[in-house]
Amino acid sequence: MASTEEDLKAAYEFRHAVTRDAAYQMLLPSERSELHRQVVDHLNHVLSEEQRVTSGAEILAHIDAINEPETLGPLELAYLKRAAGHAIETHQSLPAIEYLERIRAHELADVETRMDATQRLGATLLALGRMQEAAHALSTAIEEAHAVAPQHLGSLRGGLAGVYMESGRTEEAGELFELAIQDSRAGGNDLALGRALTNRAILYRHIGKDVDHESLLKEALEVHRRVGNRSSEGLTLMALGGTYRTGEDNAGAEELYRQALAIFRELGDRPLEAQVWGNLANVYLVSDRNDEAGQAYVRALRVMRELGRRRNEAILLGNYAQLLQRQGRLTAGLAAGARAVSILESLNDLMLLPPFRAMHASNLTLMGDFEGAERHFQQAENELSGDANVGALDHLLPARFRFFIARACGGFGPGRDPAARELSMLGKAEATITRLRNANKAKSSSLTSVINRSVIKLSAHLNKTREQLQRGSATGLFNGGLLQSHAPSCRKALVARLLELAPEQLRWMQLHEPEVYAGLVEGIDDLPAPDWRSPDIPA
């Protein structure tokens, strides 16, 4: 017979799950309920508050098994809050959504509890790209808040504005952010105020609204620091870095990103840390620090995939595609770009789809797949719904221009005829410049100087191409892009691809456009052969 505490534990400890489950099934329902009650009473008594939080889901399962909501309702609600908080803290999005939905529907949840749960539910759904569900939850809560909880309107409206922003509903988002800021100031809700100020500045930068984005973000930064909101401080530093990048201050952007990185590491926030790595990778990419860029993209992608952050994964893949192309991994670059577009399509993310389609279409143009590029350009035009978004047009129209130039000059790639020039495309290229110039004039924009420089460059490109084609050959161009803009590894991969898939085009180029051929092969002899065939994305 067992005589010590250790002996008793050994005597009643099940060594096999099957034995345990069989014994459990032999109990009467009332006996099972009593067993679960004893477990809840014991754990609730012996565990510290920290342990109750980390074990909240387990204890909640025992409460559910007792099935006495009339007597255990308060305890159930308490553990739903603990389980939801722990799930959010540990980035378990799907369990978090379940717990938050239960909190919102709980008959004992007061208005404060319901509003807080809805705010967190909206943010969690948004992070997963479930825009419609997020918008529905927040809109419903806003209706209730008007009647019984006006102090929550600022945070709820700010949350819904964020959903609209990432859904491409930019005008509605801007109006809601302004209301959220007014509500938050009136109610003294600095947490909501800081978030709304940050997100409004991000929106205005994206659509090119002519405001001082840096001042807006610095105001938000002051609010976050005043209330000690470290996570939002880091997010605002990231947004400020994006503003510096728009102004081509990559060194300043990198410094701000590193400040944000330090904050998220301190907080142990893996998804936001990964997001910073993605932003740093973009800085490395434009600074020709290709190895660092590749490592940062892979590091960020692995985290976002693990956590199911599909929107973030798409952003990373779309940008990573540009690096892969530069490194000569042409097919992998196309695969990454196509995957990014596919994810954004599944999320119906009309904020990001047009610019990411334009990037992918540019890569298709370089490969000579003019038909595939045209499909994506047309879809991007449809998704833009007019010229309201100057920022998106600044991504789309220069890529569209290069596409028309490529068709005017002939083009190289499987199925192309480099001698078949479509000179009428020069008129479309000119019309594209005019469209970009007019969009810039029609809307006062913070991107005015950037777009003006772009218009000047594109106009010079068009004039030079016209002159060269009149003389017989557009030197310095390959499928619409300047040869000097393509990295040597990319050019070596383009040559290897043509040599395997369309060798007659290389021979034609040598005979009829020797200057283009010379520019394509310049400085590539000693480079290692790139793996242009593999579709595998190295991440």
Cβ atoms of residues 466 and 423 within 8 Å: no
Query: Which H or E element spans position 477?
Result: strand 477-478
Residue 466 lies in a domain: yes
**The pLDDT of residue 264 is above 90:** yes
Give the torsion sign (CA, 338, 342, 345, 351): negative
Residue 457 lies in a domain: yes
Closest-CA residue to 535 (of 379, 375, 334): 334
443/402 Cα distance (integer angstroms)? 24
Which residues neighbour 286 within 8 Å (Cβ) at sequence distance 6 or greater?
250
Closest-CA residue to 85 (of 113, 48, 106): 113
Per residue in 314-352, pLDDT tens? Answer: 999 999 999 999 999 999 999 999 999 999 999 888 888
Residue 22: per-residue pLDDT? 65
Lowest mean pLDDT segment, chosen from 214-218, 352-356, 406-410, 471-475: 471-475
Per residue in 138-186, pLDDT tens? Answer: 999 999 999 999 999 999 999 999 999 988 888 899 999 999 999 999 9
DSSP classification of residue 445 = B
**The pLDDT of residue 11 is above 50:** no
Tokens linked to 88 = 């959010």
Residue 167: per-residue pLDDT? 84
> Phi/psi at 249 (nearest 5 deg)?
-95, 80
CB atoms within 10 A of CB 313: 24
Per residue in 418-463, pLDDT tens? Answer: 999 999 999 999 999 998 888 766 554 556 677 788 889 999 999 9
C-alpha gyration radius of the chain: 29
Lowest mean pLDDT segment, chosen from 15-24, 34-43, 50-59, 235-244: 15-24
Per residue in 61-118, pLDDT tens? Answer: 888 888 787 788 899 999 999 999 999 998 899 999 999 999 999 999 999 999 999 9
247/213 Cα distance (integer angstroms)? 11
Residue 442: per-residue pLDDT? 53
481: left (phi over 0), alpha (psi -120 to 50) or beta: beta
Identify the bridge partners of residue 477 per DSSP, sorted by sequence position.
Answer: 482
pLDDT class for 1, splitting at 50, 70, 90?
very low
Q: Which domain holds residue 443?
A: 350-475
Which residues neighbour 206 within 8 Å (Cβ) at sequence distance 6 or greater?
165, 170, 351, 389, 391, 392
Cβ atoms of residues 515 and 422 within 8 Å: no
For residues 526 and 25, the model is more confident at 526
Residue 252: per-residue pLDDT? 96
Residue 15: per-residue pLDDT? 53
Average pLDDT, the chain: 89
Residue 344 lies in a domain: no
Residue 177 lies in a domain: no
Residue 402 lies in a domain: yes
CB atoms within 10 A of CB 172: 15
Cβ atoms of residues 218 and 194 within 8 Å: no
Number of domains observed in the structure of the chain: 1
Residue 422 lies in a domain: yes
353/228 Cα distance (integer angstroms)? 35
Query: Which H or E element spans position 279?
Result: helix 270-286
DSSP count for the chain of H helices, then E strands: 27, 2
Residue 12: per-residue pLDDT? 44
Return the axis-axis angle of helices 131-148 and 111-127, rounded to nearest 10°: 160
If you count them, how many residues does the chain have? 539
Lowest mean pLDDT segment, chosen from 247-251, 307-311, 469-473: 469-473
Residue 258 lies in a domain: no
Residue 426 lies in a domain: yes
